[in-house]
Homo-oligomer: A and B are copies of this chain.
């Protein structure tokens, strides 16, 4: 019963209008000192069994083929404590 976290972010060269919109709104809302914001996705994948190597390999495949689109996105994967 382990949980694996998959973080998916747009590749740095891809425009992120959502992050930009937030960054632009910040000064108006009285927040200073932020140079950039990027917005991505976070998946919590709950496994039926333990997060062993085989399970992690499965989740990695899932991330590569489904959760992230490699054309525009990068992902990272880690087991939640």
A-to-B contact residues, CB < 8 Å: 1, 7-9, 19, 22, 25-26, 29, 31-49, 55, 58, 61-62, 65-67
Given contacts A22-B66, A29-B66, A66-B29, contact A46 B35 (CB under 8 A): yes
Q: What is the CA–CA distance of A8 and B65 in the complex, to the nearest angstrom?
A: 23
Q: What is the CA–CA distance of A21 and B48 in the complex, to the nearest angstrom?
A: 18
Listed from nearest, the 7 A-B pairs whose CB atoms lie closest are: A42-B42, A36-B46, A38-B44, A40-B42, A35-B46, A35-B48, A33-B48
- Picked from B26, B35, B40, the residue with its CB within 8 Å of the CB of A62 is B26
Contact A37 B43 (CB under 8 A): yes
Q: What is the CA–CA distance of A37 and B25 in the complex, to the nearest angstrom?
A: 31
